[in-house]
A and B are shown apart, each in its own frame.
Chain A
Amino acid sequence: MKISYKWLAEFVDVDIDPRSLAEQLTMVGLAVDGIEEIGGDHIIEIDLTSNRPDCLSHLGVAREAGVIMGKPLREAVPAQIDVKGESVSPAAVDVLDPDLCPRYTARVIRGVKVGPSPDWMVRRLEALGQRSINNVADVTNYVLHELGQPLHAFDFNCLAGRRIIVRRAVAGETLITLDGIERVLNDTMLVIADADRAVALAGIMGGADTEITDATVDVLLESAYFNPASVRRTARILGMNTEASYRFERGIDYDIAARASDRAAALIVETAGGEIVGELLDARAQIEARPPITLRLDRFHHLTGLNVGMARAKEIFNALGMEILPLKDDGAVSVKSPSWRIDLAIEEDLIEEIARLEGYDRLVPTLPGGAGAGSYQDDEAARKTLRRTLIATGFHEAISFSFVNGETDAMLSGNHESGLVLTNPVDETQSQMRTTLLGGLLSAVELNINHGTRNIRLFEIGKCFLDDGARPVEIERLALVMTGARNELGWQGAGERLDFYDLKGTIESVGENLGKNSLEFSPTSDIGYLHPGRAAVISLAGNKIGFAGQLHPRIAAHFKFKQPVFAAELDFGAILQVPGLEPRYRPLPKFPTVVRDLSVLVSDAVSWAEIERSILGLNIGELVGVRLFDVYTGSELPAGKRALALSLRYRAEERTLTEQEIGDCHGRVVSMLAREFAAELR
């Protein structure tokens, strides 16, 4: 909101320069955004918090400035109101819905000559960014900026029956507002009507039919108080926001309607001529009295750490326009807040008033005592380990929006979970809460490839949101995507393309670093988004915790990927739930280990996992390690066969194994392989 430095000076004797004033206003809670010099004046831009509608005018800011500088407001000079002729108003006011309009005043001015406003008024309004319209409309805007009371001027002779009826609109009733738009109203909206029809949207905007024009001779001036919630609701439904609605929504000073009407009437007579006819019609409903507020000084001290005496507290309250009520208690003071300070209701509000006017810079910084040790979430160490493992293997951490494209999400949902949909998304194409992290990560891969980054590894840890009927379920997941070369192409050799086993190895490293040694991968062909021959279900301690594999060509085509992309998604919570193994020391071997290699030809339908499991299943105590070191499939091998080369390590804890013993052990392995898998020794 914009405030003129010179205009302020009409209300209070400002004895500090604009910069210092701005600084001090900021420090009492009226944050000044900037100062602009316009035509010998300074316009101060204030970013007001929503609790201070009382400062949406020069009068309001002058009150604060007066308190800061310790100066009283100048006595308001009563507006010159010369009522001509009879004292009965030629108009009539009927408020049918006082709950939405607790106060409505109207006054008639006859014989005005509508024309341009005087220069001084045009300059002031324009400095505040308000375009000049005509002398009557300008006066209403001028008084709005001066006193904070929104006003409206009707062409009195256009009002059917010369009466004002304040009522709820009839559903379907229409009104063309001043901006030329036809508004369709409903029965929650308050309108100002004449005998026949709605002529204004209460507190928001006037109607075109009764607008002040060059032909206007008689004016009806409205100065009213409308229910804030009602104005807000109507403005929101109609998508309107005006200087008037902005103030009514936040709550104006109930008591200022008549003063503002007087001031505006006098200004109209001054700038447009004419004469005031009849008394001010003032229809007011009883509004709820606001109860007094009591402040205990020791409570003030307990909450701020500051010490303030009773005299100083009362001085501040007086300066703020509060009425101090008699009270027996020496340590407390009871006040009635002024009509314009609708934000003050409880003791803490008074505490803030004293604290801010004493100055927050007087608060003495202290550290609260008695703290125990702080702590991270239980799984924080595991999370850190996981993140560090992944970045060490070349993965960047990604963070994507939680809302995604619903169709893409469904396509990538391994569990076919149903998603939750936003009613008011920012982007209509991204209106579903994600049920998988892969949508975001694959879009990121797409973006990176489009930007020329073809080697990319990303992971994300974040929540997925599932519609579980009653209450949404939030599941934290971990997802990884990788594509491109295993190593960046460099002088040391060409970058080989990474494959499924790079992804698997990454997940295994994560498992190992978290102490979860029992991760298992078993083939699966029913994850819709993964290649049916290159996908695995991942299990931990017997529970399925996720999937990994190469993207299905159909999905890859959807994202226009021309290179294979590998993806995995795991239930993060499930991983963390399984307790990790703590490292335990085992004595180093005292006797030598003997290595025997073995190369066998087996059917490629036999998985490595089966072979390894069978070898270990022999429970040969001396066999301390099995390692696969080559897998060969070549055209010279019989069709449907592959050659596996393994390295078996033998050792005994208490003695050196003899050739005979090693031979026996090895023989058992070889004959088992031949028996179980028809393996041929090569």
Chain B
Amino acid sequence: MEAERLEQLRAQFSAEAAGIDSESAASALRDRWTGRKSGLLTAEMKTLGKLSPDVRREFGLQLNALKDEVDGRIAELLSGFGARREAEQLVRERIDVTLPGRRQSSGRLHPITLMRERIEEIFVSMGYTIEDGPEIETDFYNFDALNIPPSHPARSSQDTLYLENGLALRSQTSTVQIHAMQRRRPPLRVIAPGRVYRRDTPDATHNPMFFQVEGLLVDRRVTLGDLKGTLGEFVRRMFGPGTRTRFRPSYFPFTEPSAEVDYSCFKCGGAGCRICKGSGWIELGGSGLVHPNVLRAVAIDPEEFSGFAFGLGIDRMCGLMYDLDDIRLLYENDARFLEQFR
């Protein structure tokens, strides 16, 4: 009799469950069958107490099995509808992720600054101190102390810019060598980046103002080999570990012996290309051992101390590194140019 009743309930539930087509109908089905107060199965459970112990035990087990079935099926229905609801919501919330992002428009550092910071970082890590000096100079700092003779063409008004008061715009950052050696006694290691001026008419490869980095090291027994090792280390850190250097004899009034320094082309590695004009080498700058007259000009005894100095052109390096076809762009401050550098 109870078994029949159970089968009847099971069949009735299956029929009802089969007709469920929404999440709310599934919730109603749950209430109707297993609701705490008026659920059909809940009511059946309550009748158990009236049965004889034997029957109760048997019927109880079967009734619980049916309840598990019902709970399982309802949970299945509910989660099915929940998943569908969530899926629908996610579809509704879809956006076009290919639309441009919202961003704070960011500015850029000037390529000269980017290059200068890289150079400074390398030399500071090698024990150098950054220094600066005035851009308007007396003949003493710009020429005399640098052993540039009074008759030297660099002093002429063709080459150097002069003010009405007779002072000159510094034509090289080498002037900072003199200031540094007057401020401090050896040993010293100095890097001086800054603006310099020459009386050049602007064209694709010249500007009347540009940036140099001067390097100076004075100590006991500083050699040409030290200069070569130092600049070799610099170019490897700047242009890559495989970069080679080449030293060629040259002439500058403030160094003796003097050397022109080339490094193997960062583009072609030395095979020859457009950047290095086919030679495989790119000029880095001038260098040499500090001329004894320069040391004497700042009261350093050349028998006791020696030193090396070098000068690198930042604009030139920018031109090569960024492949600029016209160096005048550096000082026109066109946003379309400036925004290209990082």
Contact = CB atoms under 8 A, between A and B. Distances in A.
A570 B132 CA distance: 21
Contacts of B86: none
Interface in B209-262: 209, 217, 219, 221-226, 228-230, 232-233, 246-251, 256-260
Given A348-B289, A397-B109, A453-B335, A368 B226 contact: yes
Contact of A368 (B201, B217, B250, B333): B217
Interface stretch (B30-38, B57-65, B158-166): B158-166
A400 interface: yes
B161 A425 contact: yes
A433 B330 CA distance: 19
Contacts of A31: 248, 250, 260
Contacts of A396: 107-108, 110, 333, 335, 338-339
Contacts of A447: 332-334
A171 interface: no
A421 interface: yes
5 contacts: A303-B306, A391-B109, A393-B104, A472-B136, A472-B165
Given A426-B208, A456-B335, A492 B257 contact: no
Interface in A282-320: 302-306
Given A302-B221, A426-B201, A465 B226 contact: no
B333 A365 contact: no
A156 interface: no
A417 to B, nearest CB: 15
A232 B159 CA distance: 14
B248 A27 contact: yes
B115 to A, nearest CB: 12
A163 interface: no
Nearest to A233: B151
B139 interface: no
Interface string A425-448: 110000001000000110010011
A375 interface: yes
Given A365-B232, A448-B334, A491-B100, A402 B197 contact: yes
A265 B129 CA distance: 62
Given A305-B225, A365-B229, 10 more contacts: A302-B223, A360-B259, A374-B123, A374-B129, A375-B129, A399-B113, A448-B335, A453-B334, A456-B335, A458-B333
What interface size band does chain A fall in?
A: 35 or more
A216 B162 CA distance: 48
A363 B157 contact: no
Contacts of B257: 303-304, 348, 351-352, 355-356
A492 B109 contact: no
A518 interface: no
A305 B107 contact: no
B250 A49 contact: yes
Contacts of A364: 225, 228
Given A352-B257, A424-B157, A426-B201, A491 B291 contact: no
Interface in A258-293: none
Contact of A29 (B107, B233, B250): B250
Given A360-B248, A374-B124, A448-B335, A346 B201 contact: no
A233 B161 CA distance: 18
Most A CB within 10 A of own CB, among B102, B109, B131, B201: B109
B55 to A, nearest CB: 64
A349 B293 CA distance: 12
Contacts of A490: 100, 102
A377 interface: yes
Contact of A472 (B167, B197, B222, B335): B167
Contacts of A120: none
A388 to B, nearest CB: 8
A370 to B, nearest CB: 7
Contacts of B106: 391-392, 394
Nearest to B189: A371
A394 B105 contact: yes
Given A366-B225, A368-B230, A433-B163, A399 B110 contact: yes
A372 B187 CA distance: 10
A367 interface: yes
B333 A400 contact: yes
Nearest to B335: A453
B336 A49 contact: no
Contact of B164 (A236, A304, A395, A421): A421
Interface string A34-51: 000000000000000111
Nearest to B154: A50
A363 B247 contact: yes
In order of increasing CB-CB distance, the 3 nearest A-B pairs are A371-B127, A29-B249, A352-B257
Contact of A391 (B107, B229, B292): B107
A463 B135 contact: yes
A346 B256 contact: yes
B22 interface: no
B134 interface: yes
Most A CB within 10 A of own CB, among B102, B162, B224: B224
Given A380-B130, A447-B334, A420 B163 contact: yes
A250 to B, nearest CB: 10
B19 to A, nearest CB: 49
A423 B228 CA distance: 40
A424 B157 CA distance: 7
B209 to A, nearest CB: 5
Most B CB within 10 A of own CB, among A371, A451, A462, A492: A371
Given A29-B249, A390-B107, A422-B163, A355 B113 contact: no
A377 B338 contact: no
Given A363-B228, A391-B108, A376 B259 contact: no
A119 interface: no
A49 B248 CA distance: 12
B40 interface: no
A123 interface: no
Given A302-B306, A399-B331, A400-B331, A376 B223 contact: no
B188 to A, nearest CB: 10
Nearest to B249: A29
Nearest to A448: B335
Contact of B219 (A52, A343, A368): A368
A375 B108 CA distance: 25
A380 B110 CA distance: 16
A387 interface: yes
A444 B332 contact: yes
Most B CB within 10 A of own CB, among A29, A425, A426: A426
B217 to A, nearest CB: 6
A548 B151 CA distance: 49
A432 B224 CA distance: 42
Nearest to A469: B165
A487 B100 CA distance: 14
Contacts of B289: 303, 348
Contacts of A370: 187, 219
A367 B231 CA distance: 9
Contacts of A236: 156, 158
A28 interface: yes
A60 B233 CA distance: 37
B83 to A, nearest CB: 34
Contacts of B102: 490, 492
B200 interface: yes
B8 interface: no
A394 B162 contact: no
A494 to B, nearest CB: 14
B48 interface: no
A538 B109 CA distance: 25
A228 interface: yes
Nearest to A378: B130
Contacts of B72: none
A349 B108 contact: no
B120 interface: yes
Contacts of B99: 491
A409 B222 CA distance: 47
A350 B15 CA distance: 114
